[in-house]
Amino acid sequence: MVAAMKLRVGNPLRKLVLIKLADNASDIGECWPSYQHVADQCEISKRSVMNHITALCEAGLLRKEIRKGGPKGNSSNVYFLTLDGGGAPPAPGVVQKIHPGSAASSPPSESPAPGGSATPAPRISNSLEPVIESVIEPIAPPAPAEVVAAQSRGLVLVVDRTDTPRVEIPADMPGPKDQTCKTFKVWANYAMAYRKRYGAWPVWNAKVGGQLGQLVDRLGADVAHHVAAHFLKTSDAAVLRKCHSLNELLANAESYHTQWVTGQRVNGTTARQMERTEANHSAAEQAAQMVLAKRQSGDRNEYL
């Protein structure tokens, strides 16, 4: 756990998965929790756990063995943490498969090794749920033909008011990568529009995540990402001085929502124009009331 905590893996969710595996591991760095158990403990999707484990294997921090031939013919994953660089991890992307009949394919045992034996230390897993993992991977629903090519290169996301076009998200975008995350869509729209305007990614941290969560709660998950992208089109001097800070978006979220719905962008100049127009209307109404009052007064005088 201490070794896992000190490592930098470049992604907060990936590090959370690594720490969870370290928490389950025995003294020799071995564990076998299921994908679903890790997903439940880390509060992320099963697919995200699978992707992060693959990345940890490629980085040489983890070795995965697929052990076949269980009681029901299923397979289970056994992980070996190699946080100190030891253990001769396989080449990046290589997953070892052990088939029935080999000495290493025996199911995990809870019994301790006999004294003086050269056999490995007993395996211990902190997981309280079954460790048998089905070899059948979940099948994703078919994607539209026009998106397949982009999906083969990375994530895609709708960033405008219609379902097209779709914009590919670069792999170096900071922040959440799990598309099931509450703030993923609104952050991706804000970050992509921000980079388009300023040529750099906005800062991602815990405060930003909290602000985006509040924005989704106030505007709704169906429109918050549209408002975030529309906000970056604002050219008001006060907003530009703060480089379209999320503080400004959150402070006036309902106002920017109205601007998005109406297609209008209100800045200092347009606000003054609207104020002058309203003042002219008020002056015209007052003048008309005065003329009407004089006319009515004149009519009364004629009968006196």
User: Across residues 65-81, what is the average pLDDT?
Assistant: 74
> If you average pLDDT over each of 53-67, 144-158, 258-272, which comes out highest?
53-67
8, 49, 93, 178 from 56: Cα distances, Å: 11, 10, 9, 16
pLDDT tens across 207-223, in order? 999 999 999 999 998 99
Dihedral angle sign, alpha carbons of residues 113, 119, 120, 123:
negative
Please report the pLDDT score of residue 217 as a whole number.
94
The end-to-end CA distance of the chain, in Å, is 101
Beta strands, E only, the chain: 30-31, 62-68, 75-81, 96-98, 155-158, 166-169
For the full predicted model, state whether its pTM sits above 0.95: no
* Residue 114 reports pLDDT greater than 50: no
* Residue 91 reports pLDDT greater than 80: no
Mean pLDDT for the chain? 73
- Estimate the crossing angle of helix 206-219 against helix 224-231, to 10 degrees: 120
Q: What is the CATH number of domain 2-104?
A: 1.10.10.10
**CB under 8 Å to 180, separation ≥6 — which residues?**
44, 45, 48
Angstrom distance (rounded) from CA 85 to CA 60: 7
Please report the pLDDT score of residue 292 as a whole number.
78
If you ran DSSP here, which 8-state letter would residue 103 be given?
G
Between 260 and 112, name the one with better pLDDT.
Answer: 260
* Residue 70 reports pLDDT greater than 60: no
* Structure tokens given for 41: 């403990």
* Structure tokens given for 158: 């709708």
Q: Chain centroid to CA 291: how far?
A: 63
Domain residue limits, the chain:
2-104, 145-262
If you ran DSSP here, which 8-state letter would residue 98 be given?
E
* Structure tokens given for 120: 């490995």
**CB under 8 Å to 249, separation ≥6 — which residues?**
190, 215, 227, 228, 231, 256
Contact assessment for residue 18 and residue 42, using Cβ atoms and an 8 Å cutoff: no
Helix (H, G, I), strand (E, B) or coil at 7: coil
Share of the chain above pLDDT 90, in %: 30
Residue 204 amino acid letter? W
pLDDT tens across 5-35, in order? 888 888 999 999 999 999 988 888 889 899 9
34, 106, 250 from 47: Cα distances, Å: 12, 28, 31
* Residue 183 reports pLDDT greater than 50: yes
Contact assessment for residue 76 and residue 70, using Cβ atoms and an 8 Å cutoff: yes
Angstrom distance (rounded) from CA 165 to CA 188: 15
